[in-house]
Amino acid sequence: MNKNTSSSGSALTMYIAKNMIIGVLLAVFVIILVKIVIGLVGPSRVDQTALPQREDIVHPKPVEITSVEAQKKQHASAGSGGHTSEAVQDSRKVKSGHTQAGHAQSAVMDGGLSHSSKVDQAAPEKSAKIDSEPVQDSHAKRSAQEKAVDPKAATKHGESSRSSEIIAAAALHADQAETQKKAHPQATDSGGQSIEKSATKIVPGHEDTQAHATPDHEHVEAEQQTFPMVGMAFVDAVARPLEYELTQRFYGWRPNDILDFTDNVNNFQLGVLEVTRRSAVILSERISRTGSTAAFDKNLQNAMNWFMIKSDRYWFPSAESKYKDGLTELRTYFKRLEKGEAQFYNRTDNLIPLLMAYQDLLGSCDENLVKFKEDDGSIVSYFRADDYFFYAQGVASALHTILRGIEKDFVTMVDRRGGMEMLHHAIESCHHAMELDPWIVLNSDLSSVFANHRLNMAGPISHARFYLGVLIRALST
């Protein structure tokens, strides 16, 4: 008896559950069907209704851009005795007056002028509204014009025609422009050029714009920084990437941390360090010397030695302290160049070894990015692919900054050999490598729907290496 009761109860429960599931599915199907029907019928009705505009947002109306039909209606309603041509000329005068007043007011705002230049800004705005609105009713428009025109002009001329009102508004705008120009001769005239003295120069810096590894070592500034002596741009470019990683990167230098949680940033910093090392060696051994018999520069020798300290040294000495000492030596050499106390030889035989060192480094990165097996025969794992990716990106980031320095200090020699285009292509390829910023570095199969980010990085790295090779051949001829 109990068994039969329990079996019947379970059967009833199953029956109710099945009916509820079927009911839910039918309800979902009906809702989807209704939405499809509404979507098929709705667009024709929606297109006929205009979207409401927010009242708190002010949309300025253009003064100079008016349709031909609106101008014809304005001219037809303005001329009481067939003064159509006069109204056209007067409207052109008003537009030129608006333009002059607008330039003068923008110059006043940029230059920080006195309060007296902002008194009569309401009149141009009112007259602009009159010119831009289409004529729907002549009586309503005449009443709006009488409210918008200057009270003095309305009292003087009375209820005159449209042409007289336009001439009065144009004269008022021209007087404002002339008054502002006389009061502030440093403001712009008609070209819209800003005052040069008000431009502020921003000191070069770095911003850690991406969360995990990739910063932009190129400084953002209002105008390009100029260096008075040859070699200063290149030395500054060599020091800037590593300087950023040591002093401005959050949590500083990481490859020698005891608790290693951020291997992406670690490998990125190792790539930057390797480019800095090779640059310091060529700068010390070749670019700062006249030949093999010339003495080494003391500051550059110290910088080269400090940069050779192992990146994972935590203490006695620590990597951070020695790298900072090396940057201090580079900055000392930089100041000596500015004073004319150091030598920098931007010759072809000095630039070619530097570019060859960069080409070799990019070749190593390219090989690590495209290979599928390690030297021991094992398949490249996900963790190793991650390391290869960010190391190559660190190399590209540092090279992007240094190649810009080469572009400034070796411009005459490279341009004479026709190599500026190749140099620009190499800089652009490094920039493309810097822009890759995946959330997770995937190492999928080539035919997979998922990405293989190592190969994505290999593209711009290979292009940069190729263009540096073409540039080396151009300089060698």
Per-residue tens of pLDDT for the chain, all 477 residues: 444 445 566 677 777 888 888 888 888 888 888 777 766 544 443 333 334 444 444 444 444 444 445 555 555 554 444 444 443 444 444 344 444 444 434 443 444 333 333 334 444 444 444 344 443 444 444 444 444 444 444 444 444 445 455 555 566 656 665 655 555 444 334 333 333 333 333 333 333 334 446 665 554 333 467 899 999 999 999 999 999 999 999 999 999 988 878 889 999 999 999 999 999 999 999 999 998 889 999 999 999 999 999 999 998 899 999 999 999 999 999 999 999 999 999 999 999 999 999 999 999 999 999 999 999 999 999 899 999 999 999 999 999 999 999 999 999 999 999 999 999 999 999 999 999 999 999 999 889 999 999 999 999 999 999 999 999 999 998
Residue 213 has a pLDDT of 63
Stretch (H or E) spanning 432: helix 420-435
CA dihedral for 86, 87, 92, 94, sign (positive or negative): positive
Taken as a whole, the chain contains a residue count of 477
8 A C-beta contact, residue 165 and residue 123:
no
Give the number of C-alpha atoms closer than 13 A to the C-alpha of residue 294, restricted to the C-beta side.
15
CB-CB contact of 384 with 374 (8 Å): yes
Distance separating alpha carbons of residues 385 and 464, to the nearest angstrom: 20
Q: Can you give the pTM of this predicted structure?
A: 0.57
Reply yes or no: is the peptide bond before residue 60 cis, omega within 30 of 0: no
Distance CA 273, CA 265 (A): 12
Q: How far is 197 from 9, CA to CA, in rounded Å?
A: 91
